[in-house]
Amino acid sequence: MNVRIFRWLVVAVLLLLVAVPLYWILATSFKTGRQILMSEGVYFPRPFTLENYLYLFEETRFALWLRNSAVTAIASTLISLAIGSAGAYALTRLRFPGRRSFGALVLITYLVPPGLMFIPLYRTFIQIGYTNSLGTLIIAYPTFLVPFVTWLLMGFFRSIPRELEEAALVDGATRLQTLRRIVLPLAAPGLLAAGLFCFTLSWNEFLYALIFIADDNLRTLPVGLSEFVVSDFAFWGQLMAAAALASLPVVLVYIYLHKYMVSGLTAGAVKG
C-alpha cells in the first residue's frame, strides 16, 4: 500500500478515536434531559441548552467540590515543590555519602503504584487519627508528588551549567545565596512545569480521595463525579457537564505545558 495513504489513514483513525469521546462529552452536556432519555437524534444537542451546567451550581455541591479540589491541589503542589526542589538540588549539586543510594530510593518510591499503597496509607492515617480532612489529602499527595518532582527537577538542575554557580562561589557567595540568586531563577521554568504537573496529578487523583474522605462536604471533584452514578442510573447530561468543567483546568494547564511534555519527555514523566 502507498505509504502516504497509510500514514494519513492512521492519523485520521487516531484523530477520530480521540475526538469522538471528547465530542460525546460536550454534546451530551448541552442536551436536554428529555433528549437524552428518549434517545432522540443522539448525534447533536437539539435543542441546545445550558441547563445541565446551571443545575450543577444550583442543585449540587459542585462548587464545593471545585473548591476542595483547588485547595488540595494547590496546597499539596506547593509543599511538594518546596520539599522536592531542595532534595533535587542536593542530589544533583552537592556531594555527600549515600547520595547515589538516596537517588535510587527516590526513584523506587516514585514507581510504587498507588493501587498498592492505599490501604497501608489509610491504616497509617487511622493510627494517627487523621482521616476525613482535606489536610489528610494534602499530606498524602506528596507521597507520590515529591518523588516525581525530585526526579523531574534533577534533570532541570543538571542542565544549569555548574560553572555559573562555581563562579558565584569563587566570588564569595554562600551556597544559599547561590541557590537563591542563580540556581532558582534559572530553574524557574522547570519549577513552574513541575508545579503544573503536580497540580494536574493532584487534581485528577481519585483513589486516595475516595478512601480517606468520608464527609460529603469534603469530597474532591473526581469523587463527587463518581457518585453521580447511582446504581445503574445516572444523570448523564449533568454528569457530562461536570466532566467537561472538571477537565477544563487541566486542559488549560496542558496547553501551556505542551512544549515541555513533548520536548523534555523523560521516561515516566507522569504516571499512567
Partner 1 sequence: MGQGPVSGAGGGAAGPRQSPLVLARSTDAAPRARGLAWHRVNRVQERLLAYALILPVALLIAGLIAYPFFNAIWLSLTEKMVGYPAHFVGLKNYVTLWDSARFRIVAWNSVVYTVGSIGAKVVIGLAMAAALQKAVRGTQFLRGFLLLPWVIPTVVIALTWRWLLDLYRGLVNVSLLDLGIIKAGFHWLGNPDLAMLSVIIANVWRGFPFFGVSFLAAMQTVPQDLYDAASVDGASAWQQFWRISLPSIKGVVAIVTLLSTIWTLNDFNIVYIMTRGGPGAATHIFATYSYELGIQSQRWGMAMAASMYSLPVIALLIVFVVRYLHRDEVAS
Q: Of 124 and 216, which CB lies nearer to partner 1 in the complex structure? A: 124
- Cβ proximity to partner 1: between 49 and 169 the closer is 169
Q: What is the three-class DSSP state of 238?
A: helix
User: Minimum distance between the CB of residue 68 and partner 1, rounded to whole angstroms?
Assistant: 14
Query: Nearer to partner 1 by C-beta: 177 or 216?
Result: 177
Nearest to 249 by CA among 73, 75, 30: 73
3-state secondary structure of 233: strand
Nearest to partner 1 of 47, 113 (CB atom): 113
Asked whether the CA dihedral 18, 231, 200, 127 is positive or negative, the reply is negative
Q: CB of 66: closest distance to partner 1 in angstroms? A: 13
CA angle centred on 191, ends 105 and 203, rounded to 5°: 80
Distance CA(67)–CA(100), nearest Å, equals 40
Of 104 and 188, which has the nearer Cβ to partner 1? 104
CB of 189 to partner 1, least distance (A): 19
- Residue 230 bridge partners (DSSP): 233
Q: How far is the CB of 206 from partner 1 (least distance, A)?
A: 5
Closest approach of partner 1 to the CB of residue 32, in Å: 14
- Which of 100/217 has CB closer to partner 1? 100
List, as one string, the DSSP characters of 8-37.
HHHHHHHHHHHHHHHHHHHHHHTS-HHHHH
Say if residues 147 and 106 touch (Cβ distance below 8 Å). yes
Biggest alpha carbon distance in the chain? 76
Q: How far is the CB of 6 from partner 1 (least distance, A)?
A: 8
Instruction: Assign 230 to helix, strand or coil.
Output: strand
What is the C-alpha R_g of the chain? 23
